[in-house]
């Protein structure tokens, strides 16, 4: 099949999917969980081929770790699929209801987006998460995983697609792309595909945007900031900064820039620097920072850099407003935190920082679909429309307006023979 | 100022706007209404210059009608601005709240999108509607109106921007672009502008998408369908078809294609054709249609054409599913209606037709923000993410996730020392 034919089949499937009952979708999810359990050996064997090739190619340790799909990972993803059963169906929900006139009722009802293309990285468990989130929300999906996970993804996609189809889902609801050329072809199908979710670097997301008219929900880099206010509990600030930077450095919600109020810089920075250095963090600083602690001078470019590594850029600021301006200028709209005991300052920070996740007195690493209690996530959106922050089931639906009449025509209202009532109705 | 500088100013203003209270925004709206009233003569005089030029240029009657801005239009737009006062603020609403753990509370709070670029057609009243919807929702706006309304738009934009700024809004929250070159320059500012709403033809919207990485909320053509089911009340069907087609032909929610079930075609089509012809509608038909009534043969291209005129394409179909498939293949995702007495058929149509507005037994012309009771609208979205159908205040906000802690770090949860509670909280 060509990519166009695959997209056409997904589009046709999406229409049927949109009309499936919650019960049918849950039965399909149960079938998927059972099939994953039954085919566990095949999946792990396929993953062994990928792992062997990755080792032979000399891929770095962290990638090997993410690529690995063993019995423990299998149990995790099966538990993840089963946890989706308990979540309520995001589609078919009446979001608003209005009587426009007697016998003329308007409902705003949530529905699936349609066909979603997701391009993700090396973890095979991401394929399971994304495909089952799409199933639960009633979307057809075209998926492209990391090439180093090709064998694992083939088996996983086949097992999931076939189990769901046997349980009543339409053929073609889930399809796997394998090459970059496939992705480029997919980006041209703007009449068939409704949304693309690229997970990867800013450069990659920009490449997708430059090469497609399909709307893009950006899952891009995170240049996350912590601002330590002059009214902060400095011990708490140190602990939050260490966790935000070091708990897992290679992820988008890890800290990249630390902003410190001038009034507490001389007291806070030495203790923070010691804690960070003992974890192996290299420090870069503005001139004021370098006057207080030993740090390499930060360049202008450092404020715009996502290190994803044991590196932290530090800047001393004169005020909370300077911190907010710095974040709005250099941040990526991902996750930023203020550490302060001053509620007014916290509210100001949370209302003026234009990011998807704005925190007060806790680690940036909490910015995550599981930790938010959303179930799984298809990614973290740094877009400013549709869905922002961790995107779970709710980010995968849109709505349609359903109007039920009894023969009403607009001429009667335009010519004054009838009037609108616009009475809110219960959503039932 | 360059367009880049204007966009930068709007971006800076948007940060302040996002933090304004509902009360401040309402006071600014009141000031705008008062200023429009006070400057009415200037506005009408500027409009007279545009009208004179339009007449001299030989622009057609319907355009002159839309361009005209007289005392009646002035009163309408002032009433529109005042009606926004009564609507609740769409920003700052807590959409969800969850306790992640003791002392760690997550809130999902609505907030403005930021900076919105709107490109609209000849009506100067659209400028007032769009700018005040942006004000109420807390967005900064760059507006480009039709060049034939240049003088009217200049006065209106100045009056509105200055009145709001005197009432406390940040400088640069509302700016007017004047040329196509300005628009092209605006489309490059994807780091400063969050959303573009182009109102115009499909070709124009596609041009915008091809030339910008800014997300586009499509306000494109409407190829709207009515499907007359075999179980329809034929008298009701005739009345709905006539209203949908003729009540106002040059708008996006007017009917363009009529689908008729074969079982009732011989009975329905002659009466419908007579009613349509008496209104001056030219009929195009499929071979089966032409065998029943006098109609010109429709070409394949007709099913994909938005006439915006007294022309209707008619096709006989064998089943409701054939009608649904035709609509999903040829429609533009705008507004489609089924006429039937069969509730099962109506539900099937409403769940399977993938359009923003799907109606049962009423005219397609009801698809409109005012008629839906949304107040005004910035346009009708045929996009499938963010907002669909008539877009009022709610379509101009997004949300951010605010997390308030007391020093929590992720390491405690990752290493099993603490557990998430994920307990729903009351929303305020």
- pLDDT tens-place values along chain A, 428 residues long: 999 999 999 999 999 999 999 999 999 999 999 999 999 999 999 999 999 999 999 998 888 988 999 999 999 999 999 999 999 999 999 999 999 999 999 999 999 999 999 999 878 999 999 999 999 999 999 999 999 999 999 999 999 999 999 999 999 999 999 999 999 999 999 999 999 999 877 788 889 988 998 999 876 679 999 999 999 999 999 999 999 999 999 889 999 999 999 999 999 999 999 999 999 999 999 999 999 999 999 999 999 999 999 999 999 999 999 999 999 999 999 999 999 999 999 999 999 999 999 999 999 999 998 899 887 888 889 889 999 999 899 999 999 999 999 999 999 999 999 999 999 999 86
Instruction: Give how far the C-alpha of residue A350 lies from the chain's centroid of Cα atoms, to the nearest Å.
Output: 21
In angstroms, the separation between the Cα of residue B288 and the nearest Cα of chain A is 27
B181 torsion bin: left (phi>0), alpha (psi -120 to 50), beta (else): alpha
- Supply the mean pLDDT for chain B: 95
Query: What is the rounded CA–CA span in Å between residue A287 and residue A277?
Result: 19
Number of A to B CB contacts under 8 A, please give it: 239
Query: What residue in A sits closest to B216 (Cα-Cα)?
Result: A215
Name every chain B residue with its beta carbon within 8 A of the beta carbon of A209: 213
Q: Which of B19, B100, B372 sits opposite A351 (nearest CB)?
A: B19
**Which are the contacts of A111, defined by CB distance < 8 A and separation ≥ 6?**
A18, A91, A92, A138, A397, A398, A399, A400
Statement: residue B202 has pLDDT above 90 = no
The 10s digit of each residue's pLDDT in B18-38 is 999 999 999 999 999 999 999
Question: Quick check: B398 and A408 CB within 8 A?
Answer: no
Q: Which of B14, B352, B384 sits opposite A19 (nearest CB)?
A: B352
For the question of whether the overall pTM of this predicted structure is more than 0.90, the answer is yes
Domains and CATH numbers, chain B: 3-219+394-400 (3.40.605.10), 224-372 (3.40.309.10)
- Interval B323-348 mean pLDDT: 96
Query: What is the rounded CA–CA span in Å between residue B33 and residue B36?
Result: 5
Name every chain A residue with its beta carbon within 8 A of the beta carbon of B217: 385
pLDDT, greater one: B379 or A89: A89
Question: Quick check: A406 and B15 CB within 8 A?
Answer: no
Q: Read off the tokens for A428.
A: 């039932």
Do residues B153 and B72 touch, judged by C-beta distance below 8 A? no
Q: Read off the tokens for B95.
A: 């959409």
Statement: residue B428 has pLDDT above 80 = no
Cβ-based neighbour number of residue A378 at 10 Å = 29
In angstroms, the separation between the Cα of residue B8 and the nearest Cα of chain A is 11
- Interval B377-393 mean pLDDT: 90
Name every chain A residue with its beta carbon within 8 A of the beta carbon of B383: 215
Query: What residue in A sits closest to B359 (Cα-Cα)?
Result: A403
| Total residue length of chain A | 428
Q: Please give the DSSP secondary-structure letter assigned to residue B199.
A: B
Name every chain A residue with its beta carbon within 8 A of the beta carbon of B372: 98, 100, 106, 401
In 3D, which of B162, B363, B361 has the Cα closest to residue B246?
B363
Residue B17 CA: distances (Å) to CA of A135, B91, B173, B190, B402: 39, 11, 8, 20, 18
Name every chain A residue with its beta carbon within 8 A of the beta carbon of B138: none
Helix (H, G, I), strand (E, B) or coil at B352: helix
In 3D, which of A250, A306, A307, A304 has the Cα closest to residue A122?
A250
Name every chain A residue with its beta carbon within 8 A of the beta carbon of B94: none
Q: Read off the tokens for B258.
A: 């009529």
**pLDDT category of residue B206 using cuts at 50, 70 and 90:** confident
Query: What is the rounded CA–CA span in Å between residue B337 and residue B357?
Result: 8
Confidence (pLDDT) at A220 = 67
Q: Read off the tokens for A78.
A: 């099966």
**3-state SS of chain A?**
CCHHHHHHHHHHHHHHHHCCCHHHHHHHHHHHHHHHHHCHHHHHHHHHHHHHHHHHCCCCHHHHHHHCCCHHHHHHHHHHHHHHHHCCCCCCCEEEEEEEECCEEEEEEEEECCEEEEECCCCHHHHHHHHHHHHHHCCEEEEECCHHHHHHHHHHHHHHHHHHHHCCCCCCCEEEECCHHHHHHHCCCCCCCCEEEEECCHHHHHHHHHCCCCCECCECCCCEEEEECCCCCHHHHHHHHHHHHHCCCCCCCCEEEEEEEHHHHHHHHHHHHHHHHHCCCEEEECHHHHHHCCCEECCHHHHHCCCCCCEEEEEEECCHHHHHHHHHHHCCCCEEEEECCCHHHHHHHHHHCCCCEEEEEECHHHCCCCCCCCCCCCEEECCCCCCCEEECHHHHEEEEEEEEEEEECHHHHHCCCCCCCCEECCCC
Do residues A139 and A115 touch, judged by C-beta distance below 8 A? yes
Confidence (pLDDT) at B221 = 79
Question: Quick check: A407 and B233 CB within 8 A?
Answer: yes
- Interval B220-247 mean pLDDT: 96
Confidence (pLDDT) at B219 = 67
Angle, CA B401 vertex, CA B396 and CA B406 arms, to 5°: 150
What does residue A397 show for φ and ψ, rounded to 5 degrees? -120, 160
In angstroms, the separation between the Cα of residue B163 and the nearest Cα of chain A is 24
Q: What is the ipTM of this complex?
A: 0.93
Confidence (pLDDT) at A122 = 75
In 3D, which of A331, A325, A318, A332 has the Cα closest to residue A381?
A332
Query: What is the rounded CA–CA span in Å between residue B283 and residue B307?
Result: 12
Query: What residue in B sits closest to A375 (Cα-Cα)?
Result: B422
């Amino acid at each position: 099949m060509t990519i166009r034919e695959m997209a056409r089949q997904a589009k046709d499937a999406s229409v049927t999917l949109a009309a499936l009952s919650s019960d049918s979708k849950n039965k399909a999810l149960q079938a998927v969980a059972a099939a994953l359990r039954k085919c566990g050996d095949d999946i792990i064997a396929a993953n062994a081929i990928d792992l062997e090739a990755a080792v032979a190619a000399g891929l770095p340790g962290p990638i090997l770790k993410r690529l690995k799909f063993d019995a423990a990972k299998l149990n995790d993803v099966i538990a993840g699929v089963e946890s989706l059963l308990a979540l309520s169906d995001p589609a078919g929900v009446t979001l608003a209801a209005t009587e426009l006139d007697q016998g003329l009722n308007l409902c705003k009802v949530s529905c699936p987006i349609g066909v979603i293309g997701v391009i993700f990285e090396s973890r095979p468990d991401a394929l399971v998460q994304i495909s089952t989130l799409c199933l639960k929300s009633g979307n057809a999906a075209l998926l492209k995983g990391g090439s180093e996970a090709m064998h694992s993804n083939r088996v996983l996609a086949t097992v999931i697609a076939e189990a769901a189809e046997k349980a009543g889902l339409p053929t073609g609801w889930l399809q796997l792309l394998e090459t970059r050329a496939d992705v480029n072809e997919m980006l041209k199908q703007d009449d068939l595909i409704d949304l693309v979710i690229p997970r990867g670097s800013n450069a990659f997301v920009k490449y997708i945007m430059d090469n497609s008219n399909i709307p893009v929900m950006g899952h891009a880099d995170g240049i996350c900031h912590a601002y330590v206010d002059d009214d902060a509990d400095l011990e708490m600030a140190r602990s939050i900064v260490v966790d935000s930077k070091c708990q897992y450095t290679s992820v988008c919600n890890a800290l990249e820039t630390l902003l410190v109020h001038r009034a507490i810089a001389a007291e806070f920075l030495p203790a923070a620097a010691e804690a960070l250095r003992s974890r192996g963090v290299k420090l870069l600083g503005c001139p004021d920072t370098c006057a207080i602690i030993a740090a390499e001078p930060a360049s202008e470019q450092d404020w715009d850099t996502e290190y994803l590594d044991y590196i932290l850029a530090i800047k001393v600021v004169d005020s909370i407003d300077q911190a907010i301006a710095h974040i709005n200028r250099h941040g990526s709209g991902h996750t930023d935190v203020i550490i302060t005991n001053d509620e007014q300052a916290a509210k100001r920070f949370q209302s003026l920082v234009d990011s998807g996740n704005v925190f007060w007195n806790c680690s940036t690493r909490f910015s995550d679909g599981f930790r938010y209690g959303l179930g799984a996530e298809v990614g973290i959106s740094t877009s400013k429309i549709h869905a922002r922050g961790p995107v779970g089931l709710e980010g995968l639906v849109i709505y349609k307006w359903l109007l039920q009449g009894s023969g009403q025509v607009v001429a009667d209202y335009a010519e004054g023979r009838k009037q609108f009532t616009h009475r809110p109705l219960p959503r039932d």
